[in-house]
Structure 1
Amino acid sequence: MSPRHLALAVGIAAVWGFNFVVMQTGLRHFAPLQYAALRFALAAFPALLFVGRPGVAWRWVAGVAAAIGVGQFGLLLVGMRAGMPAGLSSLVLQTQALFTVLFAATLLGERLTARRVAGLAVAFCGLALVAVDFGVSGPIGAFALCVAAAAAWSVGIIVQRRAAPPDSLRFMVWVSALSAPPLLLMSLVLEGVPSLDVPLEGWLSLAYVAFLSTLGGFGAWGWLLRRYDASTVGPYALLVPVFGLSSAALVTGEPLSWPTLLAAALILAGVLYAGSRPRRRLRDVPQALSRRPA
């Protein structure tokens, strides 16, 4: 990866990590489901008028919208409103990689190797440590909602993998368009008629998550994935909770306890190990070369 593209990958991770602090700010002015609905509405319009059709069957767009738009972000924002801190939310949400491996094995029949099982075990130890540490001082229900959001995200990833959209930005615009109506309906039923008498801070928060994080982040990430293998680009997503935890500590004063840091190390190490490929031993290389056709 070239230095400019490397900087872009790190920059996207920084934008997504700081996104949690921005969402926490927005939740001071909007109800959770209202905030999610407005986020996707702004991400979809007016971009919807310029991107063209999604390029895949509508059932795939609807499936990702239900899993990621409604499920992931609806549950995440409700959990954050219920007391889940921004930095810790960015860390727990990364467990989507673990759920993705489990769901891919059970639903798609993908092979669950010993390496993946070991990585899952290490990462789930980190998740259990977060649950115990946060459960002592915070609402465990908020933590459970964040874990459920990670599981919903993993379902969306699997659906999107099956869809294989040719243009990730165009696909995300349509996902946003299909996510906004059900979120708005749920907000009206569960949260009542929303008030739009919101200070500038709230609208700036919405602009950040809609344009910079959703459209800019997913668009740039898809652009990188079209130029490099997923195994090259994917690991940079592990920087998201690093930026999320550090920005929350700097901006909101969210404490970084030793259990949190240890849990972060376990989760990130487990996810990275489960997603990596074993290196071929040097003594196996000559044998592999000898089996190559001339």
Structure 2
Amino acid sequence: MPRSFLAFAPLLFVLLWSTGFIGTKGAALNADPFAYLTLRFAIAAALMAVLTLATRSAWPTRVQGWRAAVTGLLLHAGYLGGVTYAIWLHLPAGISSVMVGLQPLLTALLSWPLVGERVTARQWAGLMLGFLGVLLIVLGRGSAGGAYPAGALLATVFALGCTTAGTLYQRRYGAGMPLLSGTATQYTASALVMGGMMLMHGGAYLNWTPQFIFSLTWLVLVLSVGAILLLMVLIREMPAARVGSLFYLVPPFVVVEAYLLYGERLTLLAVLGLGLSVAGVALSAWRGKSEQDVRQAG
């Protein structure tokens, strides 16, 4: 992977990933959440399979296939299922992004015992600074008036646990997985599970409004294909804690996008939080010359 692309890839990923919360709101308000996700994952799986055949890429072995399925159930079915269900229950997209934005702390906390990646004191400082920025963004958004649904909050916590576990699992077991066919396997497993959830939920309605069609198209092509492939590359090329730290940038971007698209006002406290999140990610992801020399020597 070219170093010039890897230098730009993290910011591109954050930009793409942040639009997922805005797009999910447009989709979830026009469809049963599990019906929408079943359709999204099925289309994405088909596209990845076509790309695999067109590029004559390798297909995963049986072991790789099972591991890809586990990754998919965590990163796609679990994470997106929880977030989409929470937004369907009318939890604001910005709040859901802030809650799952706690993922970097959990990833850093678990990355050493699970995948053997040491987190330095400077990286911990950056992660905590980013966490403080996220808290300020929450406070800066002000009260939404009334308590949020308990089910929506629990669904977001579930999504947080799934995306953390999925990142660590992919980092430990997914290094040799073929990128295109492995991602197709992930989506296939996720579509099957979401289809079962749709039947259990008792709803299969899809309102084909212009908003839903645009949201679905954007989420499939830009998020489920572009952003997910980019995430798999970042997880393979970067330590888990550094990949996790990028998610601190997502809530600030969601807040800005909500302001531009829906006119939500940014308070001074939220602007300060955005600045702290950016600084925290930069501090956590930056490596000094000595660290780079150690990495190259290894």
- Tell me the TM-score range normalised by the shorter chain: 0.7 to 0.9
| Long gaps (5+) in structure 2 | 53-57
Q: Which moved more, 1:169-178 or 1:133-142?
A: 133-142
1:246 matched to 2:277? The reply is no
Distance 1:98 1:271, change over 3 A: farther
Per the TM alignment, residue 61 of structure 1 is displaced from its structure 2 partner at its CA by 1.3
CA distance in 1 between counterparts of 2:262 and 2:159 reads 23
1:159 matched to 2:169? The reply is yes
Per the TM alignment, residue 24 of structure 1 is displaced from its structure 2 partner at its CA by 1.0
CA distance in 1 between counterparts of 2:86 and 2:278 reads 22
Partner of 1:211: 221
What pairs up with 1:128-277 in 2 under 5 angstroms?
A: 128-130=135-137, 136-137=143-144, 139-140=147-148, 141=150, 142=152, 145-162=155-172, 163-190=174-201, 192-220=202-230, 230=238, 240-277=250-287
Given that 1:14 and 1:243 are in contact with CA atoms closer than 8 Å, whether structure 2 keeps it comes out as yes
Amino acid at match of 2:24: M
Given that 1:75 and 1:149 are in contact with CA atoms closer than 8 Å, whether structure 2 keeps it comes out as yes
What pairs up with 1:108-127 in 2 under 5 angstroms?
A: 108-127=115-134
Distance 1:4 1:158, change over 3 A: closer
CA distance in 2 between counterparts of 1:260 and 1:148 reads 26
Q: Note the aligned Cα RMSD (angstroms).
A: 3.6
Instruction: Note the alpha carbon deviations across 1:151-209, whole angstroms, 9 max, x for none.
Output: 3212101111112144333322211111011112112212x131234223312211211
CA distance in 2 between counterparts of 1:84 and 1:264 reads 21
Per the TM alignment, residue 254 of structure 1 is displaced from its structure 2 partner at its CA by 2.7
Per the TM alignment, residue 86 of structure 1 is displaced from its structure 2 partner at its CA by 2.8
Partner of 1:100: 107
**TM (normalized to structure 2)?**
0.76
CA distance in 1 between counterparts of 2:64 and 2:233 reads 21
Give the SS at the match of 1:45. helix
| Long gaps (5+) in structure 1 | none
Partner of 2:55: none
CA distance in 2 between counterparts of 1:244 and 1:225 reads 22
Instruction: Specify the structure having the higher radius of gyration (Cα).
Output: 1
Amino acid at match of 2:183: M
CA distance in 1 between counterparts of 2:233 and 2:78 reads 25
Given that 2:21 and 2:94 are in contact with CA atoms closer than 8 Å, whether structure 1 keeps it comes out as yes
**TM (normalized to structure 1)?**
0.77
Given that 1:13 and 1:236 are in contact with CA atoms closer than 8 Å, whether structure 2 keeps it comes out as yes
Give the SS at the match of 1:277. coil
Identity %: 26
Amino acid at match of 1:75: G
Q: Which moved more, 1:11-20 or 1:233-242?
A: 233-242
Amino acid at match of 1:37: T
CA distance in 1 between counterparts of 2:268 and 2:153 reads 18
Given that 1:85 and 1:254 are in contact with CA atoms closer than 8 Å, whether structure 2 keeps it comes out as no
Partner of 1:14: 15
Partner of 1:48: 49
Per the TM alignment, residue 136 of structure 1 is displaced from its structure 2 partner at its CA by 3.7
Distance 1:47 1:277, change over 3 A: closer
Amino acid at match of 2:200: V
Total equivalences in the alignment: 280
